[in-house]
Structure formats: structure tokens, C-alpha cells
A and B are shown apart, each in its own frame.
Chain A
């Protein structure tokens, strides 16, 4: 565990919720306009994601330890079934194609990612250092699929914010320093309370500890 993380935070924010609690949260999310489902395993979540993504779809997979750990990132980037927007953007010329990159990154057909906290009454909280992934989640992407580890359920928004600062940030900061040689930061926080476009956002709750 990173040095900045307290035992209290670990106790409070890393405990896996029961399947009953996950089903209850899925119901709350559904009331808020999300398509939501609780499943037992990451493998099941992976199958659901595969079923939701049409062959040939343009897909952006957000930076997510959750997606990497259950194989979804690999499916999107390597299976050949989709157009992985992340790889396309990475290859583009930062100088000459900057405008095209912004447009493409802001409006993928599908975005697949995760969240940092989900409340018992069905709100999602996502923090981001750069903020680039938040626009597509709110409205830029036509379809949003979120895979959520079962340790991320919190009682309310206050607890969700605390989870981001006291727990997720510490783990993400360590990852960012290793991967990019630079610290992370809670520079932006998105709270999704309700979805107004039917069927736009899928939330798959997994009865496993996944991601940060």
C-alpha cells in the first residue's frame, strides 16, 4: 500500500460489498436512469461488455486498472473486433493533428471505463487528473459502459469524495509515478446522479475487488 494511505481508509474503502448490497445499488442506479446489473465475476462482466459492443464499433477504453485486470482492455485493443480509438490517438501527430485528436477523443461512439465510487442511492463519482475522460462520460460518447469493482460502494456522496482523496488517489498516484514519472491529482471530479438519455449508460457491478 502507498505510504499516504491510512489503515482506516483501507478498512473503510477496500471492503468488498455483499452481493445483496450490490443488487440493491444496481436497483438504485436503475431508478436513476442507468442500465445496471450486478454480477459475480469479472469474467461475467467481460462477457457483458463484449455483448454490448457491436462488431467494428469505435471504442475508447479509459485508463483503468479494472478493465486491464479482467481482460476488457485487451479485448478492445487487441481482439480485432473493434476500432480501438486509444491506439489510433496514440499514433497521431501531436503537433499536426492536435485538433483532430481533440475531436476524436471528445466524442467516441463507445467509451468503456470505471468509477471511483458508487453510492448506495445510485450516484457515480469519477475523478480525473487531466479531465479528458470526463466529457465523453457526461455527453460526448454515444454509449458509456462502466465496470465497477464491488469494493467501491459507499454510503453517500461525502463518503464517495473521501474515498477518492483518501484511498483512490493514493493508489492512482503511485501508479502514475511508476507509469508516467509524474504525480496524479484530483483535479476534476464528475458526479453522475441521473441519466436522461435512456440506455446510454451501463453500470456493471462486480462482486470482486477490481481497480482503485
Chain B
């Protein structure tokens, strides 16, 4: 037991989540609570003693799972993520009807923009669908981020950034996703998943990327039942002593391998390429090569998942010999890069490239080449999309460098451009 296990144990009751450990909705709830830093206790429905202590001598109807008991005693059954978030008071409405800047996404780019905008006196609203931090927020240890010589975890960086943004007066709405964008005056109205909407005189799209889907039969059915996208921190403890497979050869996959190696019996990294060096930072390659319980399989492709009630085996194929082999697997984490998250703005008329990334600045072409969506005598500013006053930063932007520091840089830079746009429209 760590010193922190009892010295930091919450003094007040937390959330209790009862489930079989194989339900996608329960995983969504665990992931949401974990990434938002909300402590909870997970009770396996098979643990009769613990179950009795939290629910009493009642029979459990499996269709009522997952069951979530909130700190005030409210029992949600079957619980949904939205109910849990609302029950914990995490879903609050915007304080204003209009803002100088609406930021979509609370990853590194969005939070950096929030800090700079709010610190310069702009009324700033951040909309976040899941949890602050974005893809970087689930990174176990970023060792090459400027100013942190001993490294910093993605979640800690996000926690600090959120506190900083809020200290300057930025509002951050959680568990609220963008569903649509429409022009309103010189600004934009953002439609939200709860049916409400809010107006921003300018908007920054920093929605990042979501994990690229692994196109193998059975993945969708096993999500939350041994198969996960990304390296959810909520699952680390549950991997104690187990066989963990990670698909991917990038830094996210490498970070996940390092994290799970601390808990799992064995971690196997499945990489399509010939080596890690071409896709992963050297420091991470070095770290991985020094960890005895991480095995790296290159030229390897996942072809099939085998399950009983949850994932049990993964069939892989060697891309050099075409031989297939079966690997025992308690958990499979898929970290194979991202796809830009632009669904909500698909109908807004944004110019995106064939891969779905948002085009900005000089990439949009000259004034002559821009279509009728552009009605100004000046060309788009850097980071500005083809819709005046709607900017994009971070991983969602075409041409962005997929690094946390680069996203922070773009988010910070966008605020200077937002000021230019606000001066342009004046008090319209």
C-alpha cells in the first residue's frame, strides 16, 4: 500500500459504480470520471460481499446494470454517463448568452487559447464533450514538454491549465458537445448537445482528433469489455498481473506501453511498421527498450479478436511471413492515430481536406480562389478558416504538428488573431 492510499483517501463518500466490467456504458462512465479526476469505487457484480455492503441484500437484475450510487445516495439504474455527470453537478449552463470567443475543445490548444483570451479580458467559453486534456490528457508522462525536466503527465498538465484558465475567468463547460454551428451576425452560434446554444463573436475550433477505428471484426462489440481506444487511465489498475496488447507505433502507443508495464504481467506492442524509430520519439523508444516486460512485435497486424464474455485472444499476422499466431489477451488498447473531429461543423461550410482536416490561412488560396463564404477584402488570417472569425488550432487543423507544445502554441497564437477580428467587427 502506498503512503497516498490512506493519506489521500477521500474523507467523504464518492461515487460507487456496480457492473460486470464488460459493459460499454460502464466503461464510458469510468473513463469520464477518471479523466475528470472524480474519484469512484468500482464494484464487480461478482464480488458478493462488497455488493452486499453497498446495495444490501437485494437481487441484482443484470439488465439494471450499470448501477451508479452518487455521493448524496441517489441510485441510477441503469446509469448513463449523462445522468452521472448531471447528478454530480458537472453539467452547468453558460453564465452569459454571448461571448467574445467560444472555444470548442479543452485539449492543449483550446486550454492555451482560453488562458490567453481570458487573461486579456475576453469573455471566453470553452465547450468540452468529455474531459479536459484532449488526447494529451490521457498521456501517462510527457517527458519533452518545455519547462518540466522530470516530465509531467497529461492529466496533470490539463488540471493545471484548467485551474489557470478558470482563475482568469474563462468558463469551461464539461459533458457538453457541439452539435452544429451557424452564422449569427459577424459571429457564430454554437448548438450544444443538451439543446441549448450560445453565441460567440469569434470561434476557435480546437476539437482535436478521435482515435482512428481499428477495422477488425468484433472490435465494436468488445468495446469496454477488454477492448479500448486510447490508454484510458481508468483501466491501469485493473490490468494488474494481466496480458496487455497495444496496437500502434506512435508516441501514444509507446506511452501506453510504459504505463501498463507498471501494472501488467506483460505488455506486447503490435506495430505494423519495421521499427519504432520511424514513428516514435527516441526517448520513448529508449525507455521501452529498457523495460523487461514490454515486447515489441513489428510487421504485425491484428486480424481477429476472440472472446467469451470479454476479450480472451487476439489473432495477429506477420506482414513478412503472412503467418498467423494467437496471443492471449486480457486487454487490447488501440492507439493507431487520430481522425479529425469535425462532425459538428460539417454543415457550416468549412473547407476541409480529403482527410477531414480543417484548412486555414494561406492554404485556402488567394482572395480570387475563395468562394462566396469569404466576403472580406482581406485574405484569411493564419489559423482562420474560410469562415471569417472562425479559427482552427491544434490537431484538427490541416498541417498542424501533432505535438502538445505545438497545439499550445497555436492556441496561444490564435488569441492575437481573435483580437484582430474583434477589432475588425467592432461593436457589430
A92 to B7, CA, bound (A): 13
Residue in A63, A73, A91, A180 whose CB lies within 8 Å of B12: A73
| B156: A residues at CB distance < 8 A | 92, 97, 100
The answer to whether A101 touches B167 (Cβ under 8 A) is no
- Given the complex of chains A and B, what is the CA–CA distance between A89 and B10 in angstroms? 9
**Nearest chain-B residue to A91 (Cβ)?**
B37
Task: Report, as a range, how many residues of chain A touch the other chain.
Answer: 35 or more
Q: How large is the interface on B (under 10, 10 to 19, 20 to 34, 35 or more residues)?
A: 35 or more
Are A130 and B6 in touch, CB under 8 angstroms? yes
A182 CB contacts on chain B under 8 angstroms: 1
Q: A87-B39, A95-B262, A96-B262 are in contact. Are A77 and B2 (CB under 8 A)?
A: no
Asked if residues A56 and B11 are in contact (CB atoms below 8 Å), the reply is no
Complex interface: chain A residues within 8 A of B262 (CB): 95-96
Give the distance in Å from the alpha carbon of A92 to the alpha carbon of B5 in the complex. Answer: 10
Q: How far is the CB of A95 from chain B (nearest CB, A)?
A: 4
Contact between chains at B34 and A91 (CB < 8 Å): yes
Q: B9 an interface residue at 8 Å Cβ cutoff?
A: yes
In the bound assembly, the distance between CA atoms of A74 and B14 in angstroms comes to 11
Neighbouring A residues of B12 by C-beta, 8 Å: 68, 73-74, 77-78
Beta-carbon contact of A100 and B39 below 8 Å: no
Bitwise interface map of A from 89 to 124 toward B, beta carbon under 8 Å scored 1, else 0: 111111111011100010000000000000000000
B89/A132 in contact, CB under 8 A: no
CA distance A74 to B12 in the complex (A): 6
Verify B10–A93 contact, CB threshold 8 A.
no
Tell me whether A90 and B9 are in contact (CB under 8 A): yes
Is B179 at the interface (CB under 8 A from chain A)? no
**List of B residues within 8 angstroms of A58 by Cβ:** 163
Give A182 to B233 CA distance when docked, in angstroms: 28
The residues in A between 39 and 73 inclusive whose CB is less than 8 angstroms from any CB of B are 56, 58, 61, 63-64, 67-68, 73
CB distance from A12 to the nearest CB of B (A): 29
In the complex, which of the residues B3, B39, B89, B258 contacts A90, with contact meaning CB atoms closer than 8 Å?
A: B39
Among A77, A87, A93, A101, point to the contact of B233 (Cβ < 8 A).
A93
Q: Kindly state whether residue A88 has any CB partner on chain B within 8 Å.
A: yes
| B3 and A78 within 8 A (CB) | no
> Is A83 an interface residue when CB atoms closer than 8 A count as contact?
yes
Q: Which residue of B lies closest to A96 (CB)?
A: B140
B167's contact among A56, A87, A133, by CB below 8 Å, is which? A56
Using A56-B167, A93-B140 as known contacts, say yes or no to A88 and B7 having CB atoms under 8 A apart: no
Given A93-B259, A100-B156, CB of A67 within 8 Å of CB of B7: no
| Contact surface of B with A, Cβ cutoff 8 Å | 1-12, 34, 37-39, 71, 89, 140-141, 150, 152-153, 155-156, 159, 163, 166-167, 233, 236, 258-259, 262-263
Can you pick out 24 interface pairs between chain A and chain B where the beta carbons lie within 8 Å of each other? A56-B167, A61-B11, A63-B7, A64-B11, A74-B12, A77-B10, A78-B12, A78-B71, A80-B89, A87-B38, A88-B37, A90-B4, A90-B9, A92-B155, A93-B153, A93-B233, A93-B236, A94-B2, A95-B259, A96-B140, A97-B141, A97-B153, A105-B8, A179-B6
